[in-house]
Structure 1
């Protein structure tokens, strides 16, 4: 007979070992140093900015919109495996404890980002409303804990109702209601806050009724979601280290493929020039490159002075270059790549050329953020410093990683 508590402990322990192993490899010295340096700088300039915050700054709207995203987003973790559809389905009526533990684990894992983001916005809140008592903000945090639980339960019932075509619609409704409630609470508009909170609770109960009509757990849906969640983690971990059992997604992305392969020679020696460019365009490397670019541009534009802008730009250039290094070994586990009549030195030269070009392009794009506030003097400094950092990463650091 299956013990649901023991089954959960076994699955959770295996999950923690698996993710912990990759997290230790991801949180290496280079990344930790860059993140710590970024955190110190951000904290300093954030405090400086709060001392001279504009009177018409929409801080309440910003807090509600951003915190609402973290409250609404509840990636469910059930620790289910593909074989469970066969071996555990007959014992579904005895697995209530197993699924409850999954909900509790999901809540505990996803409430930390909510608390961290709320703590990040706390100084902004007190700067906007210095006369409000601290107890009111504590009450706001209590509301966040409740709304997070409601969103989690709603998501659980949405999945089990198999209303997958409307999953994004349901999530959108929950986000609008959650964000509206948070905004009205922060604005002390208690009547409107009560109305939107009641609507959010009613929507949760509607999801409950829909799920009960199906009478049972949507095993196939939950297993598919769990597998997708782990593959997302593996794809992210693969940007730092090799993940042999990763299912590599390939996306056509016809809009950018002609751009990245432009200028590549048809000579045999340029085989890996073409392969690295296509791999970058059609895999997760492009998404990571663009995300770091957007975040970096936003922070450079926000930074209060030219030196802060320069530092933020160089930090994100460093992070981007460091996280492109695994592109070298992206095809290492595929036997067909070893059939190319290409020497290893030609392959090394190809990855160096491509990464150096990527970093130079990112340097230029980050420098455009200096146009906000017309900090012209920072643009040539970033170009020169960015070129130096790009050269050091590609021609001094990279050879030691791919030797």
Structure 2
């Protein structure tokens, strides 16, 4: 007979071991140091903003949306593996206690983000709604709703139709945001109406679960796989993750744009490969664009000109660190060793492509600084970027590649 408790303990132990294996690389990386600096700087300006909040600022909606996101977002980690779809389905009736424990584990691991969000909006709440001293009550209510949201999400995972699940999440999120808004506005009647609607939605989820008692094992396993894959992609920025599976997206128009100008020559093999990998891999283009957008937003909203320059340089460096793993992206492919191309040619192609990628970032930030009227910061950014691209990138990459040609960025 299957021991559900022992199975959960074994799966949880293996899961925690896997997380700790890569977390020790993440917490000591450059990105963490950069994020600490960003959070510290933004905290200072957040405090200054609270001292003189504009009358037009929608404080209630900001608080409602932030708390609504962390409350409604309740993913479930079942710790299932792909082989379980074969070996554990026959014992599904014996796994009720196992899944109960995974729900508790999922809830506990999500509390930290919920608490951080509550702590982040607490100063704004106290500054705008100082006469309403019921923030503790709001915390308790949302914590209960989050537990309900997790259970409701588990029930809805029995539904195979993705559109129904998405619609349920949208309705749930909307109701939670509305609930928080009416709580802040002290609209008791509307608050009662939204509460009744949440109860009705909860009852509907329960009835749905009763009609669909069988678990969608493939959906549960795929959800866990995608969640761990996201973690591996993050860890791969700091160390090598050998078993990371990558997704490939065609992106025809962008591929043609980047590779159309390359002549059909042997020495252009690696420039062609690195450009296609950057565009089609699911790891580089997304983080490249996201950091570019976040950096631009920070440059725009931070009032101090020197901090604008610091953020521009910092995000340029962060993007550089994110695309460095491109060098080892094809390390496990033996056929690259069959290329009749010298290692030095490959290294030079990689360095040149890194310089081109960072040049685009620097150009965007420089133009943005000039557009918003920070001419001096734009000029300083241009000088610093030019020095980094022409001297910093080649020296850094050459040194790293020379340390270990097999896996230089571990």
1:189 equivalenced with 2:199 (yes/no):
no
Partner of residue 358, structure 1:
357
Distance 2:369 2:27 in 1: 30
Partner of residue 38, structure 1:
38
Partner of residue 201, structure 1:
199
Cα-to-partner distance string for 1:245-279 (whole Å, 9 max, x where unaligned): 12210001123222322433322112111111111
Distance 2:105 2:237 in 1: 26
Residue 390 to residue 51, structure 1, CA distance change in 2 (3 Å): farther
Distance 1:29 1:86 in 2: 39
Distance 2:342 2:181 in 1: 60
Partner of residue 91, structure 1:
91
Partner of residue 237, structure 2:
239
1:121 equivalenced with 2:125 (yes/no):
no
Quote the offset at 1:26 in angstroms. Answer: 2.4
Partner of residue 406, structure 2:
none
Partner of residue 326, structure 1:
325
Contact 1:111 1:148 in 2 (8 A): no
Distance 1:389 1:311 in 2: 14
Partner of residue 279, structure 1:
277
Contact 2:11 2:79 in 1 (8 A): yes
Contact 1:72 1:148 in 2 (8 A): yes
Distance 1:247 1:87 in 2: 23
Distance 2:185 2:325 in 1: 47
Pairing of 1:67-216 with structure 2 (within 5 A): 67-133=67-133, 136-216=134-214
Q: May I ask how many residue pairs the two structures share in their alignment?
A: 401
Residue 156 to residue 54, structure 1, CA distance change in 2 (3 Å): same
Distance 2:220 2:4 in 1: 17
Quote the offset at 1:159 in angstroms. Answer: 0.6
Cα-to-partner distance string for 1:223-244 (whole Å, 9 max, x where unaligned): 1221222222222322332222
Contact 2:298 2:308 in 1 (8 A): yes
Pairing of 1:207-226 with structure 2 (within 5 A): 207-226=205-224
Distance 2:46 2:60 in 1: 17
Cα-to-partner distance string for 1:299-335 (whole Å, 9 max, x where unaligned): 1111122112112222211111111110100000111
Contact 1:322 1:393 in 2 (8 A): no
Secondary structure of residue in 2 paired with 1:255 = helix
1:301 equivalenced with 2:300 (yes/no):
yes
Query: RMSD value over aligned CA atoms?
Result: 1.9
Provide structure 2 residue ranges, at least 5 long, that are not aligned to the other structure.
403-410
Pairing of 1:331-342 with structure 2 (within 5 A): 331-342=330-341
Residue 199 to residue 356, structure 1, CA distance change in 2 (3 Å): same
Distance 2:128 2:8 in 1: 45
Quote the offset at 1:27 in angstroms. Answer: 2.5
Contact 1:313 1:366 in 2 (8 A): yes
1:258 equivalenced with 2:256 (yes/no):
yes
Contact 1:79 1:102 in 2 (8 A): yes
Of 104-113 and 118-127, deviating more is 118-127
Of 149-158 and 235-244, deviating more is 235-244
Residue 255 to residue 182, structure 1, CA distance change in 2 (3 Å): farther
Partner of residue 315, structure 1:
314
Provide structure 1 residue ranges, at least 5 long, that are not aligned to the other structure.
none
Distance 2:390 2:75 in 1: 40
Of 249-258 and 27-36, deviating more is 27-36
Quote the offset at 1:289 in angstroms. Answer: 0.6
- TM-score scaled to structure 2, two decimals? 0.92
Contact 2:159 2:165 in 1 (8 A): no
Distance 1:146 1:262 in 2: 56
